[in-house]
Structure 1
């Protein structure tokens, strides 16, 4: 239960709700205790009339008043129960908001390494399961069990006044129940963890399949994916059989032990009433009080089940929350995961750095994703304002790693990387990324309107600014062809747009960001030749007056760059202009020769460098290779 206590402590902003729940629970318990005393008085009054000690007429008014008292007490109890329930519901909702916001903030502040080893579906499943189980437990405690616990305490005080052995018998129930529950808990949680693992794996695969359903259908893999999904949940059914069988056997033992204790309590009450120690009214009072205590004891079974789920869920939650932040994570994200409540978040994207020379500088930079396995080694080159730099090398040679370092997704293992004359070690992730624009091979658009996607980096951009960059990116024409124009909803990942259209929107998005450093990571490699020409026109406009780092897939797209940096096995091979490297006999010269060749083997060699022969559509090239194979 320490996990639940930890959550309650961390959500200290909810203290007014905690106070409200406690006060309403005390009032509910107090009002609930009024009825047994009224019943005692009514019982003794009626017995006195029936036994002839007084007349019925003499006590009629008293009985009416007592009945009215019961009505008032019950109405007040109903009112306070609902007020307490309202407070508990809102508290649980606020708790969900706080926990969910902190979880999301934590995920956004985690380094890229975390996502390299995590499934999107699993991350989402944990959010739903962990936080839902916690808030449901909290709601159950505040709305039902907490008022009953206070009632039990009051009942034990009253029974002690009448006959202290009754209190001892009542008190025996709780340690006995909790001892049997503790014996159940360890095994139950282990089995719950097994189920959660299978659900997470199934959910992760589910998200992948839905996100790439075209691939699944094209390979006729629907039945295979469904069978795998079904097996995962089938495994949870088998685990549930073992878990439920064990739980209900232990619950039978708990319930049986309590039944025996209550048997002793009833026996004492009946015996002492029979021998004149208690009046009939006293017996009615004590029986009512004991049954009031009996209800929350039997509710423990349900509550412990909810608590076990909450504890199991909170372990997954805190496992994520204990991950290390990105070294230079956004301060607002860090604060959201640490402070009580949800702070007033404001979009405080810093302005790009002034483009001081050198705009890009790698000085003996090395990096390794896994310890002892370097990907790039002692890379050194510089780019000044307005220069265009092309990275050339075989696939896996380190080109994309350099891009990841520029974007601050990873930090160099050794060496110094500077942007706009500043060491990135001195910059926050927000400052660094505000200074680097990027157009990836995959446009990576969001569901929503075209306008929202173009203005993603600058949500406050005016209509005129959005239209201006769309025109410069060669996108305005196709956007206005839609009936809704810039308000067109493009669907998840921009499914309503063609590849070329998505990429032109991505170019416009990068233009509007207006960062001094631009990265083009194979920005047109996934397009056909016609779309590539349209996008390339926008890229030419985008590269104006910016320092650009290019990973290209055709030599013609880098023929006019200022500098080519060749990479081989993670090291810099050559640095020079296209003209200089064309005659050096190095990688670039080899690529020129391979591009001019029509031999299939040379074409395959060219593709190892991530390049395609100029003038040949890459889709046609792939079909030609398949035909030859």
Structure 2
């Protein structure tokens, strides 16, 4: 229950809804309790009038009118409380979802490499849905139930202490039996959730790469794997449900025995004249009011167990350590007002603290490993001057892209420092670091919106003229203009409606729109045909003018135009020099040139190991 209280404490700004629900609950309970008293009074009046006494027809009319008023008030107040509970629950869902999303956005890249995207999404949906559904049921039912229970106990004590004692025994007995049930139930719930999260994660992964799945004829295998997770979830549910319902028989059976004693007392004391007929009607109704919340507790407890398990999954993510100086910043509640707007310009990073005469980029003794046991980079030290074009060359997996990821702050070096314009990137916010760098990755990662939204992703305030200019320079304008809605064409998830070359040209134009002082090209033209590459390369040449550029190239023709080349071997710097200088050595670059000139199959395979073509 501690985790549920933690959920409520994270949304303290919802206290007006909490207070309103409690207030309406008090009045709902009061009007509900008034009904049996009015019926009891009416019963005695009817018996009296049938015996020749009583106060006449007007008394009965007044009692019927009082009953109508009590029930109307109960109806209105119940719905007011329900409205408050519903809106509070949705606001809570929005707050929890926004904070979960903000937390994910603040987590380091390493976290996502250990998680399936679908699993992360499934946890969000499952945990928040279960928590908010319970809180909705709880807020709409718990307080009226609690108040009713105490009132029934008090009234029963006034009439008969044995009756009150039996009613009082019900609640600790039920709680004890429920506690026995819950411990094992939660373990099984965790096992079931693991299977459901794994199924959801694999589902999202396969649907996201459906072309690969179909091409390798793996549909049946993937379906069998998916079904396997659900078979194990069903088996766990069978065990879990069997345990729960066996214990529920024990809980409800014990209550049946206690209620037998309660009704026996009421009937016997009425027959002996201790209670009037009206008293008996009153007490039977009160006992029925006490019985209903007890039976509802089974559903509340069941729902609470789901919510507790869900909240644990939620807080497992919320307790993860964010990356230093995360761009999202402090996690706070979203603006839920009807006039709140979304989108707009990206938050501006403060001016970069430039140290005079410092190199634009400097790696000083940088080492890094994806885990604590194996380093992939060792003591990397080099500088890049302002406006210089630097190419990184190594065999596949040699550390080129890892260096770029370290520069972007996606990972932190295990040793050494990385500086931009003389300022250690670890001492400033990641938003500032990344605002200085424009990137074109090998995989042109686009979003499912329009062409315009993708082009302006790095600078949402860019004008239409600026977007078109960048598209023209990247050789993208002509094909964009031919799309059904031009720049407003929706391109589908990951740009599925575009060819590989078209997606890459939009990615190049997106980097041009950002107009950052540093440029990283991670095999930026690898998805283009020769004609498109030449045209885009011309735009890149213009973009790289007066900018410091780091290039991971796919073709030797691109490397030959840079100012310097750094070759990496086994995670260490092997050579540094201009293309002309390195062509005269016996190093990696000279080997690549020799392999390019060779026409043998063996040398072509060797060239492919460097991710390089002629």
- Alpha carbons of 1:355 and 1:557: their partners in 2 closer, same or farther (altered >3 Å)? farther
Q: Is 2:74 the counterpart of 1:73? A: no
CA distance in 1, matches of 2:350, 2:545: 19
Question: For 1:539 and 1:90, how far apart are their aligned partners in 2?
Answer: 52
Residue of structure 2 equivalent to 1:203 = 200
1:132-156 Cα distance to aligned partner (Å, 9 max, x none): 0000000001112321221111111
- Distance in 1 (alpha carbons) for counterparts of 2:106 and 2:218: 36
1:143 counterpart residue number: 140
Match of 2:432 in 1: 431
Distance 1:355 1:596 in 2: 44
Give me the whole-angstrom Cα distance separating, in 2, the residues matched to 1:231 and 1:352. Answer: 54
Alignment RMSD: 1.6
Residue 193 of structure 1 corresponds to which residue in structure 2? Answer: 190
- Counterpart in the other structure of 1:370: 371
CA drift at 1:537: 2.6
SS in 2 for 1:610: coil
Q: What is the deviation of 1:554?
A: 1.2
Partner of 1:463: 464
316 and 189 in structure 1: CA distance in 2 versus 1, 3 angstrom threshold: same
C-alpha distance in 2, partners of 1:369/1:538? 35
Q: Please give the TM-score of this superposition, normalised by the length of structure 1.
A: 0.94
SS at the partner of 2:349? coil
**Aligned residue in 1 for 2:520:** 519
Is the Cα–Cα contact under 8 Å of residues 473 and 541 in structure 1 kept in the other structure?
no
| Residue matched to 2:116 | 119
- The match for 1:538 is 539
Q: Distance in 1 between matches of 2:470 and 2:532?
A: 18
How far 1:164 sits from its partner (Å)?
2.0
Q: Are 1:253 and 2:254 matched, yes or no?
A: no
1:447 to 2:444 alignment: no
What are the within-5 Å matches in structure 2 for residues 207-356 of structure 1?
207-330=204-327, 332-336=328-332, 347-350=346-349, 353=352
Using the alignment, how far apart are the partners of 1:487 and 1:333 within structure 2? Answer: 32
Separation (CA, whole Å) in 1 of partners of 2:498 and 2:335 = 40
1:87-98 to 2 correspondence within 5 Å?
A: 87-98=84-95
Change (3 A) 1:313 1:50: same
Uncovered stretches (5+) of structure 2, i.e. residues with no partner = none
Note the C-alpha offset of 1:75: 0.6
Where does residue 134 of structure 1 map in the other structure?
A: 131
Aligned residue-pair number: 607
Match of 1:617 in 2: none
Q: How does 1:31-70 map to 2 (within 5 A)?
A: 31-52=31-52, 54=53, 58-70=55-67
By how many angstroms is 1:483 displaced? 3.1
- Equivalent position SS for 1:537: helix
Secondary structure, counterpart of 1:565 in structure 2:
strand
**Structure 1 CA distance for aligned equivalents of residues 371 and 43 of structure 2:** 80
Please report how far the alpha carbon of residue 340 of structure 1 lies from its aligned counterpart in structure 2 after TM superposition. Answer: 9.1
Distance 1:32 1:269 in 2: 21
Structure 2 counterpart SS, 1:66: helix
Q: 1:143 to 1:137 in 2, by over 3 A?
A: same
Structure 1: 5+ residue stretches without partners: 615-629
Once the two structures are overlaid, the 10-residue window that deviates more, 516-525 or 530-539, is 530-539
* Secondary structure in structure 2 of the residue aligned to 1:89: helix
Contact kept in structure 2, 1:473 and 1:538, CA below 8 Å: yes
Query: Shift of residue 351 of structure 1?
Result: 5.5
Which secondary structure does the structure 1 equivalent of 2:413 belong to? Answer: coil
Deviation of 1:421 after TM superposition, in Å, equals: 2.2
The TM-score with structure 2 as length reference comes to 0.96
Is contact 1:12–1:341 with CA below 8 Å preserved after alignment?
A: no
Q: Tell me the equivalent position of 1:485.
A: 486
Output one character per residue of 1:424-445: Cα deviation in whole Å (capped at 9) or x when no partner: 1111110000001100011100
What per-residue deviation string (whole Å, max 9, x for no partner) do you get for residues 108-129 of structure 1? 0000110010000000000000
Query: Deviations along 1:247-273, whole A, 9 cap, x unmatched?
Result: 111011100111111111111111111
Partners of 1:578 and 1:460 in 2: how far apart?
39
* Aligned CA distance change for structure 1 residues 354 and 518 (closer, same or farther; 3 Å): farther
CA contact (8 A) 1:13 1:340 kept: no
- Report the secondary structure of 1:518's partner residue: strand
